[in-house]
Amino acid sequence: MLTEEQLIQVRRHLHEIPELALHEFQTHDYLLKVIHGFNQDRLEILVPEKLPTAILVLVHGSAPQRTIGYRTDIDALPVEEQTGLPYASHHPGVMHACGHDIHMTVALGVLSYFSDHQPKDNLLFFFQPAEESDYGGKRAYEDGVFTGKWRPDEFYGLHDNPDLPAGAIGCRMGTLFAGTTEVNIDLEGKGGHAAYPQDANDTVVAAASLIMQVQTVISRSIDPIQSGVITLGKIQGGSIRNVIAGHTRIEGTIRGLTQTMIQKIDHRLEEICKGIGASFNMEVKLELNQGGYWPVENNPALTKNFIDYMQQAPDVNFIETASAMTGEDFGFLLAQFPGTMFWLGVDDDSQLHSATLTPKESAIQKGVDAITGFLTHRMQEN
C-alpha cells in the first residue's frame, strides 16, 4: 500500500510528464509500472486494443455481488506551465492544469489499498485517456470496453476543486457538471469593395445580427428557474478595413444542466441560423458537436448513499456544492451506468485550466482515505 510520501512522489512525477489526449504513452507506461508494483494476487489488467493509452484494472472480490467502477482521467492541457515548481512540466506547452495528476494519484492510492485488502465486491479501475478532448469515455464505451467482467454495475469518479479546502469532499444531488455542445457557424456571402456595398453581401453585418439574436435564447426561450449558457467566444471575418467580408466564422459553446435543456438550446440556434440565412440571402452553415460532454447527472439513490456516508464519516469534511457550468467527459458514462461524481478540494488561489494551478498535496491522502472508506461501506450493503 502506498504511503502518503510515496503518493506525493508519484503525483510529482506524473506532473512532470503531462501529455495531450490520446497521446498519453509515457503516462500510461508509468501508471502500469506503479500498478505492477502492487500485490498482483487479485488484480487483472486490461489495455484495450482500440484505446491503447487506457488501462483497466479489475480487483477480484472475495464474495462479489456487484462490480463497482472507479474512473480517473489521465490527459493534460495545451498550457505553458508558470508555477515555478521544481517538478514542473518537462513537456513545453503541456501541463496538468486541470489536476488530473491529482486524480490519477488518488486512484492509485485507492487501488493500492485494495490490492492489499481484498474487497468483498469486484472493483474496476478505469484510467481514462482523452477527457479534455476527443471524448475518451465515450470512445471506450462505443469500442465495447465495458463488457463481460469489465462492465461496472455503478461508477464513481472525482474532480479536484481549488475553491474547496484541501481534502474536503463536495457533492450534490442532481447535476454536478453541465453538458456542452461545441458550436461552429460559417456565413457565406459575397465579398466586395467597401465603397460598393450594393454589389456585395456582407457576412460581418449578418454575423453581428446573428450574435445579437442568440443573446435572447437564454433570456426568452429558457425557463429562468433552470440554467443554460451560450458563449460565442470567437468571430473571424474579413482581411482589411476597406473590403467587405464574403465569409465569417463564429465559434462558441452551449452549456446546460440537462441533456433536454441542451437539445432545446441547440434547436433554437438552428432556427436562428436558418432565419439569418433567409434574411440576409446567404448560406449559414451550423455545426453542433455534442461529442461526449453530456451533463454529469448523479444517480439519486447512489448519490444519497454517498452523501450520507461522507456526512457521517468522522474524518471527512463534506461540503454540499452547487452545480458547475464546466463540462466533464464522465457525464457520458453516467448516462450509461448509474453512479456519482464528486469534488475533492485542493485549496488553491488559481483556477482550473490556469498556468499557475498548484493543488495542495495534502488533499491526496485525505481523498484516498475518504474513498476507500466509502467503497468499503458500499460493499457492506446488499
Residue 256 has phi, psi (to 5 degrees) of -150, 160
Q: Which amino acid is at 75?
A: D
Query: 160's torsion region: left (phi>0), alpha (psi -120 to 50) or beta?
Result: beta
Length of the chain: 382
- C-alpha to C-alpha distance for 373 and 169, rounded to whole angstroms: 13
Q: Between helices 100-116 and 362-379, what is the axis angle to 10°?
A: 50
- C-alpha to C-alpha distance for 259 and 290, rounded to whole angstroms: 10
Q: Please identify every residue annotated as catalytic.
A: 73, 132
Q: Which residue has the cell 482523452?
A: 130
Q: How many helices (H) and strands (E) does the chain have?
A: 9, 16
Strand 169-171, strand 122-128: pairing: unpaired
- C-alpha to C-alpha distance for 366 and 359, rounded to whole angstroms: 13
- C-alpha to C-alpha distance for 151 and 155, rounded to whole angstroms: 10
- C-alpha to C-alpha distance for 72 and 342, rounded to whole angstroms: 12
Q: Give the DSSP per-residue string, 73-84.
A: E---BS----S-
